Amino acid sequence: MQLLTRASKKLTAMPVRPVIFFLPFLFLYAAIVIVMANDELTVDEPSYLQLATNLLNGSYSPPPPDIDLWHAPGYALTLVPFLAMKMPLLVLRLLNAVWLYAAVCIFYDLLRKLVSPSNALAGALLLGCYWLAWKGLPVIMTETFVFFLFTATLWAAHNYFTTPGKAVGPLLLLAFLLGYVCISKLLFSYVLLALTLISAFFALRGKPQYIKALTAVLLAWIVVIPYLVYTYSLTGRVFYVGNSGGTTLYWMSNPVKGEYGDWFNENLEPNWSVDGVQPGAEAALKRNHEQEISSIRSLTSVEKDDAFKRMALENIKAHPGAYFKNWLANICRLLFNFPYSYRKIGPGLLFNGLPHLLMIIFAIPLLLFVRKNRIQPPFFIRFLLLFVLIYFLGNTLLSAHIRMLYVVFPVIILALVWIWDQRSRKV
């Protein structure tokens, strides 16, 4: 970080507008999309495109009993105008380059208000070079968009909490972004619920910043509630955000020796990896799980979700030690993308694990500095760090991957850059 700060001191003297200065990132991201994108749809791309097509035709999920609430609608909504204009798939993928480039520009603009010019530039360069976020660029999936949303949420939260008085404009923007994050990834609705309760607790104790926070999170529900009303109309269930939770909990509760709680599809196909998978992986998965999975394949999506949850709870009750082992593995997967069942170890592990390992090494002395000097980051940083902490803890309970953590990286790196700046001023 010191070398990056020194280099950025020279760069900050250059009279170049940030949107121009960071254009190389846009070109880099676009090049990654063009080079790496597949001609055919992969991973969850067909699902997002189908949901966006449904929205374009006036619906979201098919009617009962063939309900499809596997994904939240926020990202699919952003695709609708481009589908309406019949844009090619490459354009939809190139949107990710724009989202990530915009995140870097917004992040830099925010940092300039908080830290020295050189540290602001260093922090923005760190965010732009965070190569885990590049993984989502070539695919029509939600991660890059949510990464952008979190960066914009940071910017809006700073404006809201530092503006005296009612600050109606910043309040509405922050509330909208918090709500839109929740309808872009399913778990965030539960995070918002927890954040609402915590904010209400401290607001009732007369904490003025939490009174402002409670106002924002309550207004955020205006964005979320229409979706919850819609899911209620389909399922008759209150606060039913989606039907993908059961399968992730089932795999997290998996007690089979040699498997680590990572998710597999209903066809029991090994998950693709750049490092490859072990021989016999598919046969082992079918041997260990085919009987259970085949018993529920014919059920409707909601019934299947319920069945997965029942099997998961039975596994947890019968094998609590296995669930704890998978929980520890889950934390490592979120941070370092390891371990995975039946996956070979190779260069991909280093590529995925190195950024967060370096981040932790960088963070330890900074956290010790904070504790020693009793320094508190601004409230908006602490508020969103709480949001991230709740989200992280929630993810540890279900089968998770590193892409579920890197979407909130802007919040983490902002906190670390702010602390670094405070430390630099004291040295």
What tens-digit pLDDT sequence spans the chain (427 residues)?
565 565 555 555 555 688 899 999 999 999 999 999 888 898 899 999 999 999 999 999 999 999 999 999 999 999 999 999 999 999 999 999 999 999 999 999 999 999 999 999 999 999 999 999 999 999 999 999 999 999 999 999 999 999 987 789 999 999 999 999 999 999 999 999 999 999 999 999 999 999 999 999 999 999 999 999 999 999 999 999 999 999 999 999 999 999 999 999 999 999 888 889 999 999 999 999 999 999 999 999 999 999 999 999 999 999 999 999 999 999 999 999 999 999 999 888 889 999 999 999 999 999 999 999 999 999 999 999 999 999 999 999 999 999 999 999 999 999 999 999 999 887 6
Q: What is the dihedral of CA 253, 259, 262, 264, to 10 degrees?
A: -100
Let me know: does 273 contact 344? Beta carbons within 8 Å.
Answer: yes
In the chain, the number of structural domains is: 2
Same domain, 93 and 167: yes
374: DSSP letter = T
Q: How far apart are CA 343 and CA 109, in angstroms?
A: 41
Same domain, 77 and 101: yes
347: left (phi over 0), alpha (psi -120 to 50) or beta: alpha
Same domain, 407 and 397: yes
Of 305, 328, 344, the position where a domain reaches its end is: 344
By residue count, the chain amounts to 427
pLDDT reported for residue 274? 84
By the 10 Å C-beta count (0-12 exposed, 13-18 middle, 19+ buried), 65 is classed as exposed
Which residue segment(s) compose the domain that 338 sits in? Answer: 242-344
136: DSSP letter = G
Same domain, 323 and 192: no
* Cis ω for the linkage preceding 339 (within 30 of 0): yes
User: Which residues does residue 343 pair with via DSSP β-bridges, in sequence order?
Assistant: 277
Same domain, 268 and 396: no
> 184-193: string of b/e by CB count within 10 Å (b at 16+)?
bbbbbbbbbb
Let me know: does 262 contact 333? Beta carbons within 8 Å.
Answer: yes
Same domain, 222 and 255: no
For the packed helices 117-128 and 2-12, what is the interaxial angle rounded to 10 degrees? 110
Of 344, 366, 399, the position where a domain reaches its end is: 344
Two structure tokens written together for 291? 């009987």
Same domain, 78 and 202: yes
Same domain, 312 and 372: no
Q: How far apart are CA 422 and CA 294, in angstroms?
A: 57
Same domain, 232 and 316: no
Same domain, 173 and 318: no
Same domain, 359 and 386: yes
- Which pTM does this prediction carry? 0.94
Of 344, 368, 390, the position where a domain reaches its end is: 344
Same domain, 250 and 370: no
pLDDT reported for residue 9? 59
Let me know: does 251 contact 260? Beta carbons within 8 Å.
Answer: no
> 350-359: string of b/e by CB count within 10 Å (b at 16+)?
eebbebbeeb
